[in-house]
Amino acid sequence: MRSVDHCTQSDVNGSSIRPRGANANGTMPRMLAKALKEATGLLRAPQRVPPLVQRLVSDKIRITFEQKHLYSYSTSKRCSVETLDALLRWIVQAQRPDGGIAAYYSLLSGYSESYPEVTGYIVPTLYEFARLCGSHEAVDVAEQATLWLLSLQMPSGAFPAGLHGSEPHPSIFNTGQILQGLVRAYVETKRPEIMEAALAAGDWLVGEQQPDGSWSGPGAYQHAPHTYYSMVAWALAELSQCANEQKYAVAAERNLDWVLSHFRTSGWVDGINLRAHPNYLHFIAYVLQGALECGILLRRSDAIDAVGRPALILLRKFETNKHLPGAFEADFKNGHRFTCLTGNAQMSCVWLRLFEMTQGLRYLNAALKMNEMLKGMIPSRGAQGILGGVSGSCPVWGRYQPFRNISWGCKFFADALMLEQRLTESFVTSKLKALPCAS
């Protein structure tokens, strides 16, 4: 999720509690109401106090004693399979009665309403998990989620922004993210109505694209073009392959070219373009993930090379500091002190895919260590919503989605662990056996 959604960004983005750009157009009272609702959540459900206090104490201890020197990395005794199972359990339990997946579980106020965007792009994760572990439950959840998504599609082919229940407003980004889920659901089920919905969404996206390849206007967040919409291009590239229809690939490539034109030689990517928000790692990683996956699908080696530069800069920062800052200023300067766990998990995915593409072992090394670090941060005990949850920030009071376990965090970390499993297995079985001895 990008958590910033057109009309309900303040609903979903935890940073809404203290926005820099809030003004008199009604945003501030709405945000205050939300903050009050969150705060009074504890009064309505006092049983949430002990886990909240426990989390506050454990995060304080963690940031006080974490080791930052070069000689070590965070390790966890939990195996990847067990963690993956806990993550998927969290996602399954976050499915609402309507079939959608909740955006988050707030440590203060409990589960949110269903969130179409995340519900869409969590579908591929569920099918991947089912393929890996033979889980029928994951397939059931994915099918219910897909049915719910189909019921939300607008006549134009677009999907709505925001949490379920808010005033429907077509959103380019959410439509792209949901399109990913639809494409995967069609591949798995071959149901024609899913392909029809995917094609309608793809056509709407192509129609909304600007001549320069970007997406802006009313369907874009803050009406501005954003480079992290490379995720939309990725979805279109997937649709093009699945439907064997070139026009979607052309649109994806136009956006990819536009996104790549925003990569500075320093490695920084311009055009994240979020007014009143810092450049969260989550969005930086979105740009990289979208451009990389789109580049792989479209066989654009220049995209893979371009993503390699910022990915290596972030790799160095991670290796040196043992975590990635939650947000940056331009040129990766002035990293914020909190960690955005979702962004960390996304970077693990980016590094793993770069390893797969380039055979660069440093990427694999960093991703393995990142996954170790993240595994240590997933609660192995607790009630529903806590066990297996990925918090927005570490410490939990950090600026990105404070006091919340977020569904897209679980999604990206599950993706990272499944990628790790696939790549390490193939590395052991094939790669090294083909190599001669060192000397």
Partner 1 sequence: MRIVILSSSLYSETASAAALRIAELGYIPVGAVALRTLDHRTLLRKVGQWGTRGVTKYGRNQLFPSRKNRFPVVNNPYLEPLLKRGDRVFRNLREVAALHAFPTVVCSDQNASSSTAQLKAWSPDLILFTGGNILRKPVLDVPRLGVLNVHLASLPEIRGMSSPEWSLLQNVPVGITIHYMDTGIDTGPILQKYELPDAARSESLSDLRNRLIAFGIEKVGEVVVALDRGVVSAIPQPHDHKDNQFFVIHEFLKARAVERLVTPHQSARRFE
Using CB under 8 A, list all residues that contact partner 1. Answer: 67, 69-73, 75, 312, 316, 319, 361-362, 364-366, 368-369, 372, 424, 427-428, 432, 435-439
Complex with partner 1: residue 24 or 432, whichever CB lies closer: 432
Complex with partner 1: residue 84 or 123, whichever CB lies closer: 84
CA distances from 162 to 118, 150, 173, 289 (A): 10, 16, 11, 22
Complex with partner 1: residue 71 or 192, whichever CB lies closer: 71
Q: What is the Cα 418 distance to its own chain's centre?
A: 15
* Closest distance of CB 419 from partner 1, Å: 14
* Closest distance of CB 437 from partner 1, Å: 5
* Residues 218 and 278: beta-carbon distance below 8 Å: no
* Closest distance of CB 319 from partner 1, Å: 4
Complex with partner 1: residue 69 or 299, whichever CB lies closer: 69
* Closest distance of CB 431 from partner 1, Å: 9
Complex with partner 1: residue 28 or 312, whichever CB lies closer: 312
CA distance 48 to 401: 17
Complex with partner 1: residue 43 or 437, whichever CB lies closer: 437
* Closest distance of CB 200 from partner 1, Å: 44
Please list the alpha-helical segments (H only) found in 15-79.
27-44, 49-65
CA distance 400 to 282: 9
Cα–Cα–Cα angle for 375, 396, 8, rounded to 5 degrees: 110
Complex with partner 1: residue 62 or 362, whichever CB lies closer: 362
Report which residue type is found at 289: Q
Query: What's the half-sphere exposure (Cβ side, CA atoms, 13 Å) at 341?
Result: 31
Q: Residue 204 — φ and ψ, nearest 5°?
A: -65, -45
* Residues 185 and 194: beta-carbon distance below 8 Å: yes
Cβ atoms < 10 Å from Cβ of 277: 22
Complex with partner 1: residue 57 or 428, whichever CB lies closer: 428
* Closest distance of CB 324 from partner 1, Å: 14
* Closest distance of CB 376 from partner 1, Å: 14
CA distance 243 to 206: 15
CA distance 424 to 435: 16
Complex with partner 1: residue 368 or 386, whichever CB lies closer: 368
Report which residue type is found at 400: Y
Query: What's the half-sphere exposure (Cβ side, CA atoms, 13 Å) at 245?
Result: 16
* Closest distance of CB 79 from partner 1, Å: 12
Let me know if 46 is exposed, middle or buried by CB neighbors in 10 A (0-12, 13-18, 19+): exposed
Question: Strands, E, within 259-305: which ranges?
Answer: 279-280
* Closest distance of CB 436 from partner 1, Å: 8
